[in-house]
Structure 1
Amino acid sequence: MSSAASAHPLPDGQGEPTPHGPGRAELKARSIGVTSATGLVIGSIIGTGVFAMPAVLAGAGTSSLGTLAVIAVGATLLAVMFGQLTRRVPKADGGLYAYARHEFGDFAGYLTGWCYWIQAWAGNAAIVSAWVPYFEYVFNIHHPSAWQNFGVAMIGLWIPATINIAGVRQMAWFQNLTVVLKFLPLLFVGIVGWFFVKSANFGAFNASGGSLYSSIGIAAGVALFSFIGIEVAAITAQRVRDPRRNVGRASVYGTLASAVLYLLAAGAVMGVVAHKGLVNDTTPFATAFSNMFTSWNWAGTFVATIAVISGIGALNGWTLVTAEIARAASQDNLFPFPKVFARTDHKDTAWISVLIAAILPSLLLLWSYNTSSGLKVFTYLVDLTVVTVAIPYLFSACAQLSYLVSRRRQVHGALLAGARSDGRGRPGSEQHDRQFAPAAAGTPACRGCRRRSAGTGEPPEGPSLHVAAGRLLGAIPGGWP
C-alpha cells in the first residue's frame, strides 16, 4: 500500500485486514485482558506522588480541586483518543509511537518513541527515589547511608524487572494485586474521610499568595504529573487481547477510576487536616488517619506500607512500558541498536529491554546517591520527564486532529490537542529548550535507523512530516493563527 493510501485506513475503523488472523505466537503474547489492562493503567497512574498531592493542592487553595477536575476531564479525553487511534491505526504496537509514525512518518515515530523511552526510564528513577523513604520507614531504617539508600532503591527497581522477565502473565497478576492493595485503603480515606471533614479546615479559595492564575498553575502542575500513565494500555497494545476494543476501554476505565480516587481522597484530606498544617505536611495521609482515628498510633506505618505497595506496583507497570516502547520501535528499525531491544525469549518477553529499563535508572541513582554533581543531573532528568512526555502526547493529539480535520470535524480534535497543553513551553524559554534536548540527542541516531529501514526494502510508514504538517494546517479553518 502506498504511503498516501496508508495515511488513513478504511472508513470502518478496522484498518487493514489480516487474512489469516493473529498467529499462535501473537495470541500467546496477548496475555492481558481488559481487567488487567485497566489495572495496568491505574497502577501506572497512581504511584507514590498521590501521597503528597493533598499538601501541594492545599498550597493552591480549594480552587485546586476544580483544577484537578478539569485536568481529569482532559485526561479522559486523551484516554478516549488513545482508544480511537488504536482502532484506526492498522499496526498500533507501541501506542503513541505507532500513531505518530502512521500519520506523520518514520521520523515522527522515531522522535516519539525516543522521547517517551527517555521519560519512562528516567521517571522510574524518580518513582523509586520517592519510594525509598517509605520503605525505610516501614522497616525502621534510621539515618541510612548513601549505600543503604542505593541498596533499597535496587530492591524497588529489580523486583519489578524480575517479575517482568518471568512473563507478561506474572507481571499482570502482580499488577492486579498491588492495585487492589493500594486502591482500597486510599478509597477508604476518600469515602470514610468525608464523615470527619470540618469546613473550617479548608483553606481559602486561592491560598497561593498570588493571583488566581498562579493558584491554577500550581494545581495544574501536580495534576498533569499525576495523570501521566493514561497511555500505558496503548503502549502495550501488543500484549492486550483484542486491543482495538480493550485498549480504549481500559484507558477510560483506569483514568476515570484514578480521577475519582484523586478527587475523593484529596478533598477528604484537605477537610480532615487543618489547612495551616497541611501545606507543610510531608505525610498528609498519615496525619489524616491520625485525626480520623485518634487511637491509631500505627497510622504512619500503615500509610507508609500502602506507599511501598503503590510504588512497587507503579514500577512494575512502568518497567513493562519502558521495554515495550523500545521493542516496538526496534522491530521497525526505528530505535538505536534495534537487534538488542527487539530480542525476545520463547515467551515473547523483550527481556533485554527489561534489563536495560532497570540498568539505566540504577546507574542514574548510583550517581545521584554518591556524588554532588550526580544529584544535579538527577534533578534535571526528573524535571525533564514531565516536559519530555509532552512531545509524544502532542504527536498523538495531532495525529487525531489531522484525521478529524480531514473530515471537517475540527472541534473535538482541537479539544484533544489542547488537553495536554498549558502554554508553558513557549519557544525560547528554558522549558521549551528542555523539551527538545532529548530529541536533539537522539536525532543523529535516527539517520542510522533510516538507513537500516531502507535496507529492508520496505517503504517508509506514512507521509513525510512536512507533507502531513501541511495537510493538517491547511485543513484548519482560517489557517494557522
Structure 2
Amino acid sequence: MAISESNPAANPAAKPATSGDKPMSPRNASKANLLGLTSATGLVIGSIVGTGVFTMPAVLAGAGTMSILVLAVIACGALLLAVLFGQLSKRVPNSDGGLYAYARHEFGDFAGYLVGWCYWIQTWAGNAAIVASWVFYVDSLLGLKNPSGMTNWGIALVGLWVPAAINLAGVRQMSWFQNVTVVLKFVPLLFVGVVGWFFVKAANFGAFNASGGSLHTAIGIAAGVALFSFIGVEAAAMTAKRVEDPVKNVGRASLIGTALSAVLYVLVTAAVMGLVAHPALVKTGAPFVDAFQTMFPGQAWAPKFIAAVAVVSGIGALNGWTLIVTETSRAIAQDDLFPKPFAWVNRNGTAWFGIVVGTILPSLLMLWRYTSSSGLTIFTYLVDLTVVTVAIPYFMSAIAQLSFLVSRRRRVNGWALARDLAVAGTSVLFSMWVTFASGYQVVYQALVVILAGLVLYAFLKARRERLGEVAEPVDNPEPADKPVPVRADAS
C-alpha cells in the first residue's frame, strides 16, 4: 500500500502536516517586532478599509439601492469569518500562514498548497485593484484631467513601491505607519457617514434594482465589490507569526476590526448614495469628491481634502497588504511548498524576496490593464478576480473547522457545539454563494489561474520526494523482460 504524504505516522520521513517546524509564538521572534492587539486590529481595519470604500459607492449604485442590503449581508458573513478564524487560531497548534495553515493542518500538504496559492494570487491581484482605485484619487488631488494610461501606470507604481519600501524597513516601521494611516482615514470617513446624512436628498437614490437586468444580476454586481471591500478580515490570521499572543489576539483583532469596518461601510455607502445624484454617481471613479462638494458647495478645499484622505487610505491599505503578501508566501516556502527564495529574510527578519516579487507582479498587471482598459473597468475586473480566488481559502478554512467539529477530536459539546457548527456551516454556504454570485466568466478565469498553480505543485512535490521530505508513491513494478525463447535444433 502507498504511504500517504500527509500521514506522518505512517511515514516518519515526511514532515507533519502543520505549518512550520517550530510552534509559532513570541519565543520565535523579538517582542519588539510583534503586533499587539491594537496594532493587529489596526492591521485588520487598514487592510479592510482601503481605497475600495472610496470607489465602492459608485459600483454599488450601478446595482441599485438593494446593494446596501447586500453590503449588510456580506458584513454579517465577514463577522462570522472573523469568529471562525479566531476559533481556528486557538485550535491549530501552529497557525503561521493563517488560512494556509488551517487547511494544511486538517487536510494535508496538497490542500494547504492549494489554499496558499489561491490566497497568494488574490493578495497581489488585490493590491492591483486597490492601486487602481487609488489612482483615481491621486488624479483628482493633482487636478489631472483624462491622463494617459502610462501616466496612471507611473502613479500606480508609486502607490505599490512606497509601501514595499516601508515593509522592507521592518515590521515596527510598517506597524507605526499602519496605525497612523488608520486614524487619518477612519475619522474623515466616519464624518461623512454621520454628518453627511444631514445633506442627503431622497431624490438622489436610484432604483432598487438599477442594473438593467434581473435581481440576480444586480446581486452579483453588488456582492463582488462588497466582498472585496471586506477582504482583510483574515489579516491578523495571515500574519499570526507577527502577532503577540496569537491564540488570543488573532480572534479579537479580527472581530473588532471587522465590526468597526462594517458599521463604517454601511453608514458611508448609504450616505454617499444620498449625497450624489444616481446618474452622476455611476459614472464617477471618485464619488467622495462629489459627496464633499455637495456637503461644502463652493469650497475649493473640500474635494482636495477628501482626495487626500483617500490617497492616505490607499497607501495605508497597500502597506498592510504588502505585509500579508509577504507573510503568505514566506509561510508556504518555509514548509517547502513554495520556491525557497520566498523564505529568504534580511537582517530585519523581513522576507524581502516575497516583497519584491509581490510588488513586481501587480506592477506588471497594472501595465497590462492600463494599456488595454480604462476607468472603472480596470477596478471591476481586478475586484472580480480577487473575490473568487479568496473565496476558495475561506471555503477551505470553513470545512477544516467543520471536519474537526464532526470528528471525535472535538472538545465542545451541547450549546457550544451547536454554535460552532452554525458558524462553520454558515461560512461554508457564504463562501459558496460568493463564488456562485461572481459569475461564470470570472470563475472560469480564476480556474485557469488555479490550474496553473497545480503545475508548479507537481514540480515542488517531485523535489520534496527527492529530498526525502515526503514518501514516494509506490507504483506497480515494471514487468520483467521475458527471456527470448531458444528454438531447439531440428537436427
Tell me the TM-score range normalised by the shorter chain: 0.7 to 0.9
> Does 2:438 align with 1:440?
no
| Residues 263-306 of structure 1, C-alpha deviations (whole Å, 9 max, x = no match) | 11111122233334433344322222222222423322122111
Counterpart CA distance in 2 for 1:222 and 1:382 is 6
Go from structure 1 to structure 2 and tell me whether the alpha carbon gap of 1:151 and 1:423 turns closer, same or farther (over 3 Å shift). closer
> Does 2:295 align with 1:292?
yes
Query: Per-residue deviation at 1:433?
Result: 2.7
**What does residue 423 of structure 2 align with?**
412
**What does residue 476 of structure 1 align with?**
none
CA contact (8 A) 1:45 1:314 kept: yes
Kindly report which structure 2 residues correspond to 1:177-192, keeping only aligned pairs within 5 A, or say none: 177-192=180-195
CA contact (8 A) 1:345 1:351 kept: yes
Length-normalised TM-score, structure 1: 0.84
CA contact (8 A) 2:166 2:173 kept: yes
**What does residue 231 of structure 2 align with?**
228
Go from structure 1 to structure 2 and tell me whether the alpha carbon gap of 1:182 and 1:428 turns closer, same or farther (over 3 Å shift). closer
Gaps of 5+ in 1: 7-14, 461-481
CA contact (8 A) 1:405 1:413 kept: no
2:71 is aligned, of 56, 68, 82, to 68
Query: Per-residue deviation at 1:341?
Result: 0.5
> Does 2:344 align with 1:333?
no
Counterpart CA distance in 1 for 2:175 and 2:22 is 30
2:164 is aligned, of 141, 161, 166, to 161
Counterpart CA distance in 2 for 1:81 and 1:434 is 28
Kindly report which structure 2 residues correspond to 1:352-391, keeping only aligned pairs within 5 A, or say none: 352-370=353-371, 383-391=384-392
Go from structure 1 to structure 2 and tell me whether the alpha carbon gap of 1:162 and 1:389 turns closer, same or farther (over 3 Å shift). same
Go from structure 1 to structure 2 and tell me whether the alpha carbon gap of 1:60 and 1:23 turns closer, same or farther (over 3 Å shift). closer
Query: Per-residue deviation at 1:227?
Result: 0.9
**What does residue 9 of structure 1 align with?**
none
CA contact (8 A) 2:116 2:332 kept: yes
Counterpart CA distance in 2 for 1:23 and 1:233 is 15
Of 363-372 and 213-222, deviating more is 363-372
> Does 2:103 align with 1:92?
no
Q: What letter matches 2:444 in structure 1?
A: D
Counterpart CA distance in 2 for 1:201 and 1:232 is 36
Q: What letter matches 1:134 in structure 2?
A: Y
| Residues 18-43 of structure 1, C-alpha deviations (whole Å, 9 max, x = no match) | 99995755244752111111111111
**What does residue 121 of structure 2 align with?**
118
User: Radius of gyration: which is bigger?
Assistant: 2
Counterpart CA distance in 1 for 2:133 and 2:322 is 16
Gaps of 5+ in 2: 10-17, 411-416, 472-491
| Residues 40-87 of structure 1, C-alpha deviations (whole Å, 9 max, x = no match) | 111111222212222333333332222211110001000110111111
Go from structure 1 to structure 2 and tell me whether the alpha carbon gap of 1:376 and 1:141 turns closer, same or farther (over 3 Å shift). closer
Query: Per-residue deviation at 1:459?
Result: 6.0
Query: Per-residue deviation at 1:152?
Result: 1.8
Counterpart CA distance in 1 for 2:437 and 2:264 is 33
Go from structure 1 to structure 2 and tell me whether the alpha carbon gap of 1:382 and 1:199 turns closer, same or farther (over 3 Å shift). closer
**What does residue 302 of structure 1 align with?**
305
Aligned length: 447
Q: What letter matches 1:415 in structure 2?
A: T
**What does residue 343 of structure 1 align with?**
344
Counterpart CA distance in 2 for 1:93 and 1:19 is 10
Go from structure 1 to structure 2 and tell me whether the alpha carbon gap of 1:272 and 1:97 turns closer, same or farther (over 3 Å shift). same
CA contact (8 A) 2:84 2:423 kept: no
Q: Tell me the SS of whatever aligns to 1:102.
A: helix
> Does 2:146 align with 1:135?
no
CA contact (8 A) 1:42 1:254 kept: yes
Of 443-452 and 386-395, deviating more is 443-452
Go from structure 1 to structure 2 and tell me whether the alpha carbon gap of 1:196 and 1:398 turns closer, same or farther (over 3 Å shift). same
Identity of aligned residues (%): 60
CA contact (8 A) 1:78 1:419 kept: no
**What does residue 277 of structure 2 align with?**
274
Query: Per-residue deviation at 1:427?
Result: 13
**What does residue 38 of structure 1 align with?**
41
Q: Tell me the SS of whatever aligns to 1:110.
A: helix
> Does 2:55 align with 1:52?
yes
CA contact (8 A) 1:327 1:342 kept: yes
Counterpart CA distance in 2 for 1:183 and 1:381 is 24
1:421 is aligned, of 427, 432, 439, to 432
